[in-house]
Structure 1
Amino acid sequence: MKNNKPGLRIGIIGGGISGVALALELCRYSHLQVQLFECAPAFGEVGAGVSFGPNAVRAIVGLGLGEAYLQVADRTSEPWEDVWFEWRRGRDASYLGATIAPGVGQSSVHRADFLDALVNHLPKGIAQFRKRATQVEQKGGEVQVLFADGTEHRCDLLIGADGIKSALRSHVLEGQGLAPQVPRFSGTCAYRGMVDSLHLREAYRAQGIDEHLVDVPQMYLGLDGHILTFPVRNGRLINVVAFISDRSEPKPNWPADAPWVRDVSQREMLDAFAGWGDAARTLLECIPAPTLWALHDLAELPGYVHGRVVLIGDAAHAMLPHQGAGAAQGLEDAYFLARLLGDTQVDADNLAELLEAYDDLRRPRACRVQRTSRATGELYEFRDPVVGANEHLLGENLATRFDWLWSHDLDADLAEARARLGWENGSRGVLRQG
């Protein structure tokens, strides 16, 4: 029977990984009209390497992006292919344990490479650039978004994928009678750099340091600091992030006029890690021009939806990177919405109920990931109130700490959402022709 209902018009604000991944899936369906708006003059990702756990890889595959991901992703080589990280003392690189992610291991990619791979599959005409959203209005079941260039866009559903500094978040919260939420500084900064793996191997060899530390992703742990490494770009580069935390203030503040990312000298970075062991110091000495990142996150939001405007990814639940879970939660959001919006049973009459299910089922999980990301950073830096610097408890905790995060059944959440909507099991989405 032919469906004569008018197609839903969907606007997506933000051209990062979550926004583009969602747009790619939604534009495959003939009952949806999709437009994506990016404020920059072209697609581009800030940052370097990003690690994906098993849950993220499942979402990527579920979004039909598995092949594009595999073209640019790195895996730890055999026989360590299931290792997510090995954990070591920062002061002497002694082995503390490992976290195993069976079948996935350390699945990582350069952010820009992954976004480029996605963008290459995006149909022409879907994306518009230099579109900075400035105002949102809802009236009569329609959303109007105004842009800084004086143009506007009208749609049935507006999705905010515009990151931690989201322009749409205030509209959603104010619509719920709540105060705006701005990013909060964590008190932790991260020195970042990319190291040529052959250069690092030579440096370790010269210092008599085990080259196994190059072959397998590592996390070096110390009081109020930790350093991680994992490969990107087919193992040619090693992504290095060295975290240092100032715990002198209970509510740390980052100056409003200070950039979140700036170039720093190698000497500043090395001074921050004075007293760390040879492996850590030699690693950092291979980064001649690091950048310093001030790490911010969001407080847990009481809602991600107002009317026909919904937040996904960092716009909704920006978190600290200590579980490698931020981008993954955005991809889970995209997968959840894509599976429901891609079904031909969706229409203007049940859209509100669909968004309510998204908020009820996605928000508690994302909030838990936010909370545990902060707590995991405390654990790494010997500040967990139970574990502290007890190496035995630390190894036990890290061996299983991420199981709940990685094993979550997103399809079970979708099944519950479909039951709430009164939809039959199985998607009835229709692929776009041509």
Structure 2
Amino acid sequence: MSMKKPALRIGIVGGGIASVALALDLSRRSQLEVKLFESAPAFGEVGAGVSFGANAVRAIAGLGIGEPYLQTADRTPAPWDDVWFEWRRGVDAGYLSASFAPGVGQSSVHRADFLNTLASRLPNNVPVFNKRAQQVEQTGSATSVTFSDGSVYECDLLIAADGIKSSIRPHVLNSIGAEVVAPRFSATCAYRGLIDSQLLRDANRAQGVDEHLIDVPQMYLGLDAHILTFPVKQGRIINVVAFVSDRSTATPVWPSDKPWVNSADQKVMLKAFADWGDAPRILLECIASPTYWALHDLAELPGYVHGRVALIGDAAHAMLSHQGQVQGRAWRMPGCSGNLLGDSQMLDTDPAAVLKVYDEARRPRACRLQRAPPGRRENSMKCVTLW
């Protein structure tokens, strides 16, 4: 008489979009017992809109969540269906080029809306809230994570998806004999805001600015600065991010006692773009209460895995949005690990060996992308330039 093997226990630390998607995918597998630990009292995303290219949308579908994504996502309207972004000069909104993602176009969501859609599909016994990971130990075939409330969870595999400030990353790096890596300030900051699309439309009409600049996602370019716009919430809201880089020092430092996200004075934001044209100026004038984000990234890590603990997403390879498809690449990390962990033969395989395969498959690619020049995109989009 054969004995049924116990389910493989998988713990996921972090409650962002990619980790919830991974938990949702893995919880469908009968041979797995999945728990997701979030430090907050409920799921919640920081930020507003996020844009996905063609490869990312395919990865989302591969995780089995294509339908809920499409229910939430915005698309570029006809006849510009395939346009991902139009690129323009900030000084006069003069047209430079357009990037195309055939069959997808500009595909974007409000982070909180999409996270809520995914979380609503999680089994009730998967998420556990108010759990902030503090310490990890590996002994033999078991891994345990201790939380700030003193509770301990023991599992067969632990996936750290706890962001750029990961509390689990030091365990992995120390264990493989590597120097602990801290987030580093990029010298780039971003003003963010959400605008009611009708308000922006009225402002453009009043000053004779083409409404096409609202209907189609835009990227306005200037010296050490750029502004991007795209719709969220079914076109009712326009997401705006205005980036400014300071090249005055080779080793920029963000004050350790200053939050990475702060409220901003609209007058200060407008001054930073004072010599730009009407279209971007109107955008910024419509953001009454912008927020100000200090953008950080990570240096390349020599390993994402130690034993039965793995790093994914920003915990492993936090990059700047300037490098393109950062959130999209985060989807391919859960996709890769989900496919490996969800295989029916997992119970007959050394879990640590499976994570080693994940590290060997994903880390070299992610590191190459970290080294890529800003703006270089890995997805296959055509760029048409008209000068």
Give the shorter-chain TM-score range.
Answer: over 0.9
Q: Which residue of 1 aligns with 2:185?
A: 185
Q: Which residue of 1 aligns with 2:216?
A: 216
Matches within 5 A, 1:221-260: 221-260=221-260
SS, match of residue 202 in structure 1? helix
Matches within 5 A, 1:132-143: 132-143=132-143
Q: Which residue of 2 aligns with 1:353?
A: 353
Task: Identify the match of residue 405 of structure 1 among 360, 379, 383.
Answer: 379
- Aligned equivalents of 2:230, 2:58: Cα separation in 1: 20
Residue 330 of structure 1 aligns to which amino acid in structure 2? A
- Aligned equivalents of 1:95, 1:139: Cα separation in 2: 60
Q: Which residue of 1 aligns with 2:17?
A: 17
Residue 202 of structure 2 aligns to which amino acid in structure 1? E
> Does residue 148 of structure 1 match 2:122?
no
**Contact 1:300–1:370 under 8 Å retained in 2:** yes
- Aligned equivalents of 2:91, 2:371: Cα separation in 1: 28
Q: 1:29-75 CA deviation, whole Å, 9 max, x = no partner?
A: 11101111000111000000000111111111111111111111000
> Does residue 362 of structure 1 match 2:359?
no
Q: Which residue of 1 aligns with 2:374?
A: 376
> Does residue 270 of structure 1 match 2:244?
no
- Give ranges in structure 2 of 5+ residues lacking alignment: 382-387
SS, match of residue 262 in structure 1? strand
Q: CA deviation at 1:265?
A: 1.1
- Aligned equivalents of 1:367, 1:133: Cα separation in 2: 26
Q: Which residue of 1 aligns with 2:59?
A: 59
Q: Which residue of 2 aligns with 1:302?
A: 302
- Aligned equivalents of 1:233, 1:324: Cα separation in 2: 22
Q: 1:366-403 CA deviation, whole Å, 9 max, x = no partner?
A: 2222233xx225xxxxxxxxxxxxxxxxxxxxxxx53x
Q: 1:338-370 CA deviation, whole Å, 9 max, x = no partner?
A: 111111111364322211111111112222222
Q: Which residue of 2 aligns with 1:168?
A: 168
- Aligned equivalents of 1:3, 1:88: Cα separation in 2: 65
**Contact 1:369–1:405 under 8 Å retained in 2:** no
- Aligned equivalents of 1:349, 1:195: Cα separation in 2: 51
Q: CA deviation at 1:94?
A: 0.3
SS, match of residue 208 in structure 1? coil
**Contact 1:204–1:282 under 8 Å retained in 2:** yes
Q: CA deviation at 1:328?
A: 1.5
Q: Which residue of 1 aligns with 2:329?
A: 329
Identity value in percent = 65
- Aligned equivalents of 1:205, 1:343: Cα separation in 2: 56
Q: How many residues align?
A: 381
**Contact 2:31–2:347 under 8 Å retained in 1:** no
Change (3 A) 1:97 1:299: same
- Aligned equivalents of 2:140, 2:357: Cα separation in 1: 22
Q: CA deviation at 1:3?
A: 7.6
SS, match of residue 150 in structure 2? coil
Q: CA deviation at 1:406?
A: 4.5
Q: CA deviation at 1:19?
A: 1.0
Q: CA deviation at 1:324?
A: 4.1
Residue 294 of structure 2 aligns to which amino acid in structure 1? A
- Aligned equivalents of 1:238, 1:248: Cα separation in 2: 32
Q: Which residue of 2 aligns with 1:391?
A: none
- Aligned equivalents of 1:142, 1:300: Cα separation in 2: 28
SS, match of residue 71 in structure 1? helix
Q: CA deviation at 1:309?
A: 0.2
Q: CA deviation at 1:167?
A: 0.6
Residue 352 of structure 1 aligns to which amino acid in structure 2? A
Q: Which residue of 2 aligns with 1:338?
A: 338
Q: Which residue of 1 aligns with 2:121?
A: 121
Residue 363 of structure 1 aligns to which amino acid in structure 2? R
**Contact 2:68–2:117 under 8 Å retained in 1:** yes
SS, match of residue 135 in structure 1? strand
Q: 1:192-243 CA deviation, whole Å, 9 max, x = no partner?
A: 0001111111111111111110010000000010000000000000000000
Q: Which residue of 2 aligns with 1:103?
A: 103
**Contact 1:314–1:326 under 8 Å retained in 2:** no
Q: CA deviation at 1:131?
A: 0.4
**Contact 1:48–1:110 under 8 Å retained in 2:** yes
Q: 1:318-351 CA deviation, whole Å, 9 max, x = no partner?
A: 1101244222222111111111111111136432
Q: Which residue of 2 aligns with 1:49?
A: 49
Change (3 A) 1:146 1:26: same
Q: Which has the higher strand share?
A: 2
SS, match of residue 10 in structure 1? strand
**Contact 1:50–1:324 under 8 Å retained in 2:** no
Q: CA deviation at 1:4?
A: 2.8
- Aligned equivalents of 2:367, 2:2: Cα separation in 1: 41
- Give ranges in structure 1 of 5+ residues lacking alignment: 378-400, 408-434
**Contact 1:51–1:324 under 8 Å retained in 2:** no
TM-score for both structures, normalised by structure 1: 0.86
Greater CA deviation, 282-291 or 341-350? 341-350
Residue 11 of structure 1 aligns to which amino acid in structure 2? G
**Contact 1:204–1:279 under 8 Å retained in 2:** yes
- Aligned equivalents of 1:150, 1:348: Cα separation in 2: 33
Q: Which residue of 1 aligns with 2:384?
A: none
**Contact 1:8–1:156 under 8 Å retained in 2:** yes
SS, match of residue 114 in structure 1? helix
Residue 284 of structure 1 aligns to which amino acid in structure 2? L
SS, match of residue 405 in structure 1? coil
- Aligned equivalents of 2:152, 2:329: Cα separation in 1: 29
Q: Which residue of 2 aligns with 1:383?
A: none
Residue 184 of structure 1 aligns to which amino acid in structure 2? R
Q: Which residue of 1 aligns with 2:385?
A: none
